[in-house]
Amino acid sequence: MSGGEAHVPEALDRAAREYLAHLAVERGLSANTVAAYRRDLARYVAFLASRGNHAVRDVEPDDVADYVAALRTGADGGASLSPSSTARSVAAVRGWHRFCAAEGLADGDVSADVRPPAQGRRLPKAISTDEVARILDAAGLGDGPAPLRDRALLELVYSTGARISEAVSLDVDDLDLEGGAVRLLGKGSKERVVPVGSFARRALDAYLVRGRPGLAAQGRGTPAVFLNTRGARLSRQSAWAVLRTAAERAGIEHPERISPHTLRHSFATHLLAGGADVRVVQELLGHASVTTTQIYTLVTPDTLREVYAAAHPRALG
């Protein structure tokens, strides 16, 4: 540990350094992740030292709880953190205390019962079907293979609810346009087969026939569906830029708020608004738990009330 932390007792500093070495060597975490843990622990051990703690054994549950409160308010002299940043920092603190208990540096885990503050539930940002249509139309403006690719990419994302990483990872063999389906590889290498709508099928067919061959000729041969101008697989960053440019061309208000996930959120929201079952949407999105999918129901309360009123036998008297 370094950076103006000479006031930190040696025992605390050594325990923190041992934990960081454990993360880097035994758990194999990336340098960036270890650096983030180092910053979080530097602030924490400085806080512990300011309260008169000289070793991990001196720390009490109240110290940990007060530190969590200080993260939110900046009472320790550091920056006040958002709930998500506080949760990350608390995770580092709890991991360190578990390590210290396991290594015999403390009699137990004093952080076991400490939890970060609850985070506000953030609603997905969906756009209207009209805005989606304007973006898709704008993506296909112009001549050459790139507009054909851009229209096909965004049509596919909105038609299937694919994550942008799933879309750019597609190989030609993953497409079954005749059968109207695509095979997506989601988180945890979990595969799912998702229907592809007629608009997306037509856009993909046009790109594969008239656009992709020209792009592929610039490269060394790749099975990727979506290619850049050098004939290599399109990156997520480039796909993001495709959507941002289309949103600007379409005259969408605040185009900077439009991201590839916006189309995914809109896909789910529009399906639910149309009466789709939440568990069907869960399968289409590739969510491991229906709880994750249910957040989309919060953005269509009017539709839900209408369905409830029409379907429940005692909704109306």
Domain count, the chain: 2
Q: In terms of domains, do 159 and 27 share one?
A: no
Q: What is the pLDDT of residues 152-205, one digit of tens each?
A: 999 999 999 999 999 999 999 999 999 999 999 987 778 999 999 999 999 999
Question: Which residues form the catalytic set?
Answer: 163, 187, 261, 264, 287, 296
The answer as to whether 150 is a domain residue is: yes
The answer as to whether 1 is a domain residue is: no
Q: In terms of domains, do 175 and 296 share one?
A: yes
Contact 196, 160 (CB under 8 A): yes
Q: In terms of domains, do 150 and 285 share one?
A: yes
CA distance 139 to 129: 15
Beta carbons within 8 Å of 129's beta carbon, 6+ residues apart: 266, 270
Q: In terms of domains, do 220 and 264 share one?
A: yes
The answer as to whether 53 is a domain residue is: yes
Provide the CATH number for the domain around residue 60.
1.10.150
Q: In terms of domains, do 146 and 288 share one?
A: yes
Q: In terms of domains, do 212 and 70 share one?
A: no
Q: In terms of domains, do 30 and 143 share one?
A: no
Give first-to-last CA distance, the chain, whole Å.
Answer: 68
Across the strands, what pairs with 194? Answer: 182
Q: Torsion-angle region of residue 275: left (phi > 0), alpha (psi -120 to 50) or beta?
A: left
Closest listed residue to residue 171, CA positions, set 132, 102, 223: 223
The answer as to whether 108 is a domain residue is: no
Q: In terms of domains, do 298 and 160 share one?
A: yes
Tokens describing residue 121:
């539930």
CA distance 195 to 207: 19
Q: Which H, E and C letters describe 115-180, residue by residue?
A: CCCCCCCCCCCCCCHHHHHHHHHHHCCCCCHHHHHHHHHHHHHHHHCCCHHHHHCCEHHHEECCCC
Contact 238, 227 (CB under 8 A): no
The answer as to whether 4 is a domain residue is: no
Provide the CATH number for the domain around residue 193.
1.10.443.10
The answer as to whether 271 is a domain residue is: yes
Q: In terms of domains, do 71 and 218 share one?
A: no
Low-confidence ranges of the chain (pLDDT < 50): 2-6
Q: In terms of domains, do 59 and 150 share one?
A: no
Q: In terms of domains, do 193 and 284 share one?
A: yes
Q: What is the pLDDT of residues 35-58, one digit of tens each?
A: 999 999 999 999 999 988 999 999
The answer as to whether 232 is a domain residue is: yes
- How high is the pLDDT of residue 121? 54
Q: Which residues of 261-279 are buried (b: 16+ CB within 10 A; e: fewer)?
A: ebbbbbbbbbbbbeeeeee
pTM of this prediction? 0.60
- How high is the pLDDT of residue 3? 41
Last residue of a domain, one of 83, 102, 121: 102
Burial of 297 (0-12, 13-18, 19+ CB in 10 A): middle
The answer as to whether 147 is a domain residue is: yes
Range of the domain at 137: 129-310
Burial of 236 (0-12, 13-18, 19+ CB in 10 A): middle
Q: In terms of domains, do 29 and 170 share one?
A: no
